[in-house]
Amino acid sequence: MLNKTIILSLGLLFLINCNTQKETKTSTKVDTDENGATKVINKDGKVIYFSEGENKFLKEYQMNVTFKGISEDSRCPKDVNCVWAGVAVAQVEVMGTATRPMTLNLASIDNKGRNYNTSAEFNGYTISLIDVQPYPGAAEGTKALNGKYKIGITIKKAGENPTTK
């Protein structure tokens, strides 16, 4: 009887932990456009979107940004109950007008113990990953998403909160 109580208690603890990981507190607003695509809008509206492999020169920041791809996508698929919510890690190459290129690994969650960071500093700016789309489904998995990823990033002066003004 004691063993059953312990096992039941541990099972409930795992389920509660899974649910709290899915609930995140951000100051971003999630909308859908007329095509049903998800878009994330920061308070100041300066989310910059990239498709996989896309390169942009951002004149106001004097830097070139390239979304190289997703190196890891272990996010829990839609309609599946998981013990851990998972993470997506985007490789973003940045290069200032007077600096060498640097690859930043930006994660969809902050977890210092696993070395996942949503933000990284480069050339006096903090670059933060805000959105990773599409979300994996249970049927197709993440392999089917290769080459189809889109990310949204924000760029702020170093020291500013990346999700607020």
Question: Could you tell me the residue range of the domain that residue 38 belongs to?
Answer: 26-157
Question: Under the phi-then-psi rule, with left for phi > 0, alpha for psi from -120 to 50, and beta for the rest, what region is 3?
Answer: alpha
For residue 38, the model assigns a pLDDT of 43
| Domain assignment present for 30 | yes
Domains in the chain, number = 1
pLDDT computed for residue 23 by the predictor:
41
Distance CA(116)–CA(135), nearest Å, equals 18
Please tell me the pTM assigned to this model.
0.66
Whether residue 106 is contained in a domain is answered as yes
Average pLDDT over residues 112-135: 91
Distance CA(6)–CA(52), nearest Å, equals 47
163 in a domain, yes or no? no
Give the model confidence (pLDDT) of 59-88 as tens digits: 999 999 999 999 988 888 877 788 888 899
pLDDT of residue 35: 37
DSSP for 25-80?
--S-EEEE-TTS-EEEE-TT---EEEETT-EEEEGGGTEEEEEEEEEEE-PPPTT-
Predicted confidence at residue 114, as pLDDT, reads: 87
Residue 4 lies in a domain: no
Read off the CATH number of the domain in which 132 is found. 2.60.98
